[in-house]
Amino acid sequence: MADQDAAQQQDAAYDEEQHQREIEVILAEYQRRQMLEHLTGPFVSLIVHIIMLVSCFLLMTGRTTQEISDVEVSIEEMEVKELDPKIIQELQKLENVPQDVVPDVERPDVPQEQVQAVTEDFSNEMAQTDDAMDFSDVLDIKASDTPLKISGLYGGRSSEGRKKAIARFGGSSVTESAVLKGLRWLKEHQNPDGSWSQSQKDAMCGFALLTYLAHGETPMSPEFGPTVQKAMQFLTNAMMATTDPRGLGGGGYVNGIATYALCEGYGMTKIPFLKPAAEKGLEAVLKGQQPCGGFDYSYAKTKRWDTSVVGWQVQAMKAGYVAGCENAGIPTGIENASRFLRNVAYANGKFGYSSPGAGSWGVHSAGTLCLMLIGEAGSPEAKTGATNLDEGYTAKWDEKTGPTDLYCWYYATQVMFHAGQTTWKKWNKVFSPMVVTNQKSDGHWECGMGMGKDAKAAEYDPYYITCLCCLSLQVYYRYLPTYKMPEAVAKGASALDAKDQDLGLEIE
């Protein structure tokens, strides 16, 4: 009996083992079929792609090749046997095994303010593009929030504005070509520190910067940008470094010219770095004004006054006001200068140099233009001054021509421009060709007489004369930012207000 039970158990174990083997065989066969089914598709796709690639290659090379033997791909259906229910149960158990052991990860919830903070911090490290160039690295400044561009007040100095103004007011490609040659000569002769000349660096840098600004050049300009940038840096550093309460050069001409350039530079570009220097120069101008409203050499507070010195101080104050400099005394200073010109320097139809009515045509032109600058173009003194200049003076360039003549022409050209269409056409017809004809082949101008025997003056004379000639030839478009007086300061219409209709000018 025991043997019989043992035999039965042995048979049962054998049957179980045999059954297990059958399951394993079936599972192996199932897995093989699955693998074949999965590989058939990719294999066929591979063959098809090979054929397509070979065909494309033959078409692209254009070479005649031997015919490629046809490749036949046949897919035979495999005979599928039904599985035993027990085997199906085993397969279901296998399918329930987890396929992905990587746990799900929820997306972190980051507060919006943190995202903005990170983005803002990173944007400061990104390189600037031409769309909003930042030249703070080269000019040691913090640029304004918006891309640097010439504002509407200075629209006449833009490329398009210059073209329109030149065509409308009697300029030409010849006059503009002469200006460009002059600017290129100045660029080639700029000192490494950004100045010009060796004996009068501050004043000549001021003149040159005014000349580039008049042409609409800024630190972003493709051709003259580095030149303008270095000039701005030099003049700003010089102004901020001086401890003289009279400003650069001990006041007078030098400080007035340098301040004028800094104010106009700030007004055009709104570069913050220029503003403190411009305001420091203006402060010296305002403190140097005499009780009568005039100015003298070195801002001396004596009974002597000098209309020639007054001219640069008025231009500086006007440019500073237009630029938005915050010196509280600018309006009062302009009003005092107006009173001085009308009541002190003027007599018998002329403006005097250091006594009423007694002066050269250059001083007379300076006094007339200053009244036009500050909204007094309609005053009897300004009208008479322009008429007398038109009727009594003729520009002529010969071997006797000297810097004082060019100084006169700088002012007289602007006066004639604002005196009316007929007066301007008469002046421009003679003056512009005369200046262009006397330009040297390399782009600069010089006078036969020079500054006499003064070696110091002879050294800076080429820069001085070249700047004055360029500025005179830029009158067609330069006057837009300089001669329209804000209503808050001007009592009456400025020269622009009076002549906009006469000249057909539209200011956008």
Question: pLDDT tens digits, residue range 24-39?
Answer: 776 667 666 666 666 6
51-55, 85-89, 129-133: least confidently modelled range: 129-133
Kindly state the helix (H) or strand (E) to which residue 347 belongs, with its residue range. Answer: strand 346-347
Are the C-beta atoms of residues 434 and 397 closer than 8 Å to each other? yes
Under the banding of pLDDT at 50, 70 and 90, the label for residue 117 is very low
Cα separation, 333 vs 367, in Å, equals 16
Under the banding of pLDDT at 50, 70 and 90, the label for residue 209 is very high
Under the banding of pLDDT at 50, 70 and 90, the label for residue 324 is very high
pLDDT of residue 236: 98
Residue/partner pairs of 15-19 with CB below 8 Å, 24 or more apart: none
Q: What mean pLDDT comes out for the span 446-472?
A: 85
pLDDT of residue 143: 31
Amino acid residing at 108:
P
Q: What mean pLDDT comes out for the span 430-448?
A: 95
Cα separation, 451 vs 227, in Å, equals 27
Cα separation, 387 vs 296, in Å, equals 27
249-258, 476-485, 498-507: least confidently modelled range: 498-507
Of residues 317 and 62, the one with the higher pLDDT is 317
C-alpha Rg value of the chain to the nearest Å? 43
483, HSE (Cβ side, Cα atoms, 13 Å): 28
Tens-place pLDDT, residues 153-181:
566 777 788 888 898 889 999 999 999 99
453: three-class secondary structure by DSSP: coil
351: three-class secondary structure by DSSP: strand
Q: What mean pLDDT comes out for the span 471-490?
A: 65
**Of 336, 406, 418, which is closest to residue 372 (Cα–Cα)?**
418
Under the banding of pLDDT at 50, 70 and 90, the label for residue 21 is confident
pLDDT of residue 161: 82
Length of the chain (residues): 508
Residues 76-96 as b or e (16 or more Cβ within 10 Å = b): eeeeeeebeeeeeeeeeeeee
pLDDT > 80? residue 92? no
Of residues 127 and 202, the one with the higher pLDDT is 202
52-66, 166-180, 241-255: least confidently modelled range: 52-66
Scanning 393-454, the segments in alpha helix (DSSP H) are 403-418, 421-437
What's the 3-state SS for 174-235? HHHHHHHHHHHHHHHCCCCCCCCCCCCHHHHHHHHHHHHHHCCCCCCCCCCHHHHHHHHHHH
pLDDT of residue 128: 29
What domains appear along the chain, each with residue ranges and CATH number?
149-503 (1.50.10.20)
Q: What mean pLDDT comes out for the span 54-76?
A: 52
Cα separation, 238 vs 277, in Å, equals 9
Cα angle 251-292-309, degrees, rounded to a multiple of 5: 35
pLDDT of residue 447: 87
What letter would DSSP give residue 97?
A: S
pLDDT > 70? residue 462? yes
Q: Tell the residue number behind the tokens 């071997």, with chain if given.
A: 399
**Of 173, 143, 169, which is closest to residue 156 (Cα–Cα)?**
169
Of residues 119 and 443, the one with the higher pLDDT is 443
Q: Tell the residue number behind the tokens 């060796």, with chain if given.
A: 198
Cα separation, 237 vs 225, in Å, equals 18
Q: For residue 119, what are its two tokens?
A: 């983005």
Q: Extract the runs of DSSP E, i.e. beta strands, from 254-323.
A: none
% of residues, the chain, pLDDT over 90: 56
User: Any idea of the CA torsion for 216, 222, 228, 232, to the nearest 10 degrees?
Assistant: 100
Kindly state the helix (H) or strand (E) to which residue 346 belongs, with its residue range. Answer: strand 346-347
pLDDT of residue 239: 99
Report the DSSP pairing between strands 346-347 and 350-351. antiparallel
